[in-house]
Structure 1
Amino acid sequence: MTAMLFGMNASRMTAVEELWRRHAKEAFPARLTSVDVLGIEMVMLDADIAGCVGTWLHDGGTLDDRRWDVLAVRKRELGRVLPELAGEEAAYFRRLDEMVDLLRHSSAAPPPR
């Protein structure tokens, strides 16, 4: 069982690393630097998720409770704003959403609240 969990975590880590590399190469959507979508500041949405993903990768797939809480809030916000975005803007934030999903479904994630 431990080997299976380790294998799943290694696979998940690799998937997040690949998405992270792709994401880091993309410029933040210019229009969204000064625009809130449904009252959500898009620059901060990006920054908060990026900070959590970077920490998760740096710390070997773990996060503290505060960052898990941030991800939970930001995941809900992504669900609200994604239908409002199109094209490259949508692709940029869908990639963040995919990374959040991978982190939240890792064995190190706390149970949903």
Structure 2
Amino acid sequence: MGDLLSRLWEEHMREPFPPHMRGREIDGEDMVLLDADMAGCVLSSLSGPLDAKRHRILLIRLAAVEKVLPSIEDEDGAIEYHERLREMAAVAVELGNTKAR
């Protein structure tokens, strides 16, 4: 799973944040902040298990991206970008759950 997360992270880093999403809020979620929070937690998980605070943040932000995905317009590859973000977060959460057992 760690290899999958590394590959997804590399793909994510090659793609710019969708320009039309800057300054946007969807269902009460600031899209730039959502991206930054999730990416920061995923990056931390690449270095080792997440601490309890980051794990909790990632779970909350994962639920948020699930909530907003249906409302994202597919301009500038925004849907694919946020689906990959969701997948990375889910893998990072699973890695954390696996390491905690």
How far apart in 2 are the matches of 1:78 and 1:109? 24
Partner of 1:3: none
Q: List per-residue Cα deviations over 1:44-101 (Å, max 9, x = no partner).
A: 1000011011111022xx0000001101110110111000113211110100100111
Task: Indicate whether 1:74 and 2:57 are aligned.
Answer: no
Aligned sequence identity (%): 33
Task: Indicate whether 1:26 and 2:11 are aligned.
Answer: no
* Equivalent AA in structure 2 for residue 65 of structure 1: A
3-state SS, counterpart of residue 93 of structure 1: helix
CA drift at 1:108? 2.2
Q: 2:79 aligns with which of 84, 90, 108?
A: 90
Partner of 1:108: 99
Cα-Cα RMSD: 1.3
The structure with the larger Rg is 1
CA drift at 1:105? 1.6
How far apart in 2 are the matches of 1:38 and 1:89? 16
CA drift at 1:109? 5.2
Q: 2:50 aligns with which of 63, 66, 74?
A: 63
* Equivalent AA in structure 2 for residue 43 of structure 1: V
Instruction: With the length of structure 1 as denominator, give the TM-score of the two structures.
Output: 0.81
Runs of 4+ in structure 1 over 3 Å off: none
- For structure 1, the residue ranges without an aligned partner over 5 or more in a row are 1-11
- For structure 2, the residue ranges without an aligned partner over 5 or more in a row are none
